[in-house]
């Protein structure tokens, strides 16, 4: 069981996890039971790293038991072993823990952030080239980050951790959502990266890796569009600060979302790639947007520049 951070309101929770078939580690000779159990827990908490996360076998249609708020719910994983379920729960705002179990596995704890009804500002951020510098040609990015690069070699974008942390602190109880086209396989790695580089804790919304029923590769753009719409519907009172970069399709996706849900956008902050980063990303996006007085757009090369602009408009 690989637990992911979930979110919810005071009467429901979105639980996220993945069920994998893995070979349990064997204790070394002369190793104490306590040391073995500690090492096993560390391995489980760390998840599967690099290319190994893509060679693991998902357990499709696995039955998973979710215990939260003193109530037990039984849900079923999809064909990729992913559980993405909304369960009823009466919870106070803040962090809570759901206990997840499936047949043959140890129970694991999944953190869940509950948003108070009074909170009206949220943060949604892209990952690649927004909070993490990739400096790779876009066609090679996914393969390199997944199969080759050591997680400690990933570089945070200058100033972005401070920007997101200041935004989260500005309104107590603000939910932070990291919306990426990356696969669920790399969620443990991304979670450790965000924590190690002092980004605020939040839910990761990733996608399944591999083909769908009607295409070889999943659409990252549709994944982002669908989750933005879902968040707007789940939290109708929320006005989101959207953070992305100008090297992918963030501007077009955020612009479409703003037209469809104008009341759900407080501001958009776009990190401008450096000339070399733009070349590797296949050029800059041509979807620059001026924004509106109620939902301004800001452009800057790093987190400091964006933070200063947001502060000038009273958003930070």
Residue 129 falls in which region: left (phi positive, over 0), alpha (psi -120 to 50) or beta: left
State CA 149 to chain mean position distance.
Answer: 19
- Residues forming beta bridges with residue 176, ordered by sequence position: 123
Supply the pLDDT for residue 189.
Answer: 83
User: How far, in Å, CA of 241 to CA of 65, rounded?
Assistant: 34
Supply the pLDDT for residue 37.
Answer: 55
Strands 20-21 and 57-58: antiparallel
User: How far, in Å, CA of 96 to CA of 79, rounded?
Assistant: 28
Kindly give the confidence (pLDDT) of every residue in the chain, 316 residues in length, as a single tens digit, with 9 standing for 90 and above.
889 999 999 999 999 999 988 776 665 555 555 665 555 555 544 444 454 555 568 888 899 999 998 899 999 999 888 999 999 999 999 999 999 999 878 899 999 999 999 999 999 999 988 998 865 545 555 555 555 555 556 789 999 999 999 999 998 999 999 998 888 878 888 888 899 999 999 999 998 755 444 443 455 789 999 999 999 999 999 999 999 998 768 899 999 999 999 999 999 999 988 766 655 555 455 556 667 888 999 999 999 999 999 999 998 8
- Give how far Cα 9 sits from Cα of 89, 142, 171, 195, 241, Å: 9, 33, 17, 24, 19
For 61-82, the pLDDT digits (tens) are 899 999 998 899 999 999 888 9
Which tokens go with 87? 């369960």
Task: Provide the CATH number for the domain formed by 121-312 in this structure.
Answer: 3.40.50.1000
- CATH 2.60.40 assigned to domain 2-114? The reply is yes
Supply the pLDDT for residue 144.
Answer: 55
The dihedral sign for the CA sequence 37, 42, 47, 50: negative
Q: How far apart are the first and last CA of the chain?
A: 38
CB atoms within 10 A of CB 269: 30
Residues of the chain with CATH 2.60.40: 2-114
Residues of the chain with CATH 3.40.50.1000: 121-312
Residues 162, 200 contacting (CB under 8 angstroms): no
């Amino acid at each position: 069981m690989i637990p992911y951070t979930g979110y919810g309101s005071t009467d429901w929770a979105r639980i996220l996890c993945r069920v994998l078939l893995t070979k349990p580690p064997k204790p070394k000779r002369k190793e104490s039971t306590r040391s073995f159990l500690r090492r096993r827990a560390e391995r489980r908490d760390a998840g599967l790293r690099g290319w190994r996360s893509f060679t693991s076998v998902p357990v499709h249609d696995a039955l998973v038991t979710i215990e939260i708020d003193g109530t037990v719910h039984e849900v079923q994983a999809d064909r990729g072993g992913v559980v993405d379920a909304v369960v009823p729960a009466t919870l106070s705002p803040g962090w809570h823990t759901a206990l997840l179990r499936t047949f043959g596995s140890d129970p694991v704890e999944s953190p869940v952030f509950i948003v108070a009804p009074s909170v009206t500002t949220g943060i949604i951020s892209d990952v690649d080239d927004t909070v993490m510098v990739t400096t790779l040609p876009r066609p090679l990015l996914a393969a390199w980050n997944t199969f080759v690069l050591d997680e400690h070699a990933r570089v945070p974008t200058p100033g972005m951790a401070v920007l997101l942390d200041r935004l989260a602190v500005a309104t107590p109880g603000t939910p932070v959502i990291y919306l990426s086209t990356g696969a669920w396989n790399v969620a443990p790695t991304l979670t450790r990266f965000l924590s190690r580089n002092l980004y605020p804790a939040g839910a990761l919304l990733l996608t399944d890796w591999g083909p769908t029923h009607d295409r070889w590769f999943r659409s990252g753009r549709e994944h982002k569009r669908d989750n933005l719409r879902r968040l707007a519907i789940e939290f109708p009172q929320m006005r989101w600060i959207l953070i992305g970069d100008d090297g992918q399709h963030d501007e077009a996706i955020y612009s479409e979302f703003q037209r469809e849900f104008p009341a759900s956008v407080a501001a958009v902050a776009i990190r401008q790639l450096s000339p070399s980063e733009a070349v590797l990303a296949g050029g800059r996006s041509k979807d620059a947007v001026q924004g509106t007085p109620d939902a301004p757009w800001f452009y800057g090369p790093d987190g400091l520049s964006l933070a200063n602009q947001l502060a000038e408009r009273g958003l930070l």
